Amino acid sequence: MIIESIVTTLDEEGTPLPERRVNFAPMGVEWGDETIVIKPYKETATYRNLAATGTAVVNLTDNVLIFAEGAISNPIFPTRPAKVVNGAVLQDVCSWRELKVVGVNSEQPRAYVTAEVVHRGFEREFLGFNRARHAVLEAAILATRTRFLPAREILAEFERLQVIVDKTAGPQELQAMALLTDYVQKVLAS
């Protein structure tokens, strides 16, 4: 089962937080109780950081603005140090899993990184995703594919998703959808 999360990784071994650069990557991970699989593209900071440090934190949050911003830019969100691994936990997290890499298969364009869950943390109840939050997640995924999907297809899907957001969103979801729509329009116009 794929669970949408924010994967945090650190840039290189040795420098403690907060001086260390944290990478925030919205990413669907293959979920398991004892093992989680992360599949980053090999040219990404997530892959480089996993290869360099062998650790990551999978953050579960219901804040879709984090997903939206993370999909289209390189934001920095507030974090705190992980408990067991040398990693970073989102401040706005419901729960998290701290991971230690146990295997990497990098034969395909997307690496297959198997990681053992070495710590579980809980901050607050996960409120879930209403229809607007789901729509924003889908829009964020589409925004990351503007370079290789047909513009007509992306714009039609954004139009459909906007109807859902307009009917069921709160302020955070409206802000996230506006951010993604603006980004997609600029990319497709260029």
Task: Say which residue the tokens 């699989």 belong to.
Answer: 37
Tokens of 83: 């408990």
Structure confidence at residue 19 (pLDDT): 58
Rg (CA), the chain: 17
190 confidence band (pLDDT: 50, 70, 90): confident
Please give the model's pTM, rounded to 2 decimal places: 0.92
What are the tens digits of pLDDT across the range 79-92?
Answer: 999 999 999 999 99
What whole-number distance in Å separates Cα of residue 22 and Cα of residue 59?
Answer: 13
CB atoms within 10 A of CB 4: 17
Which phi-psi region, left, alpha or beta, contains residue 70 (left: φ > 0; alpha: ψ -120 to 50)?
A: alpha
| Range from 11-25, 59-73, 165-179 carrying the lowest mean pLDDT | 11-25
The vertex-69 CA angle with 135 and 125, nearest 5°, equals 65
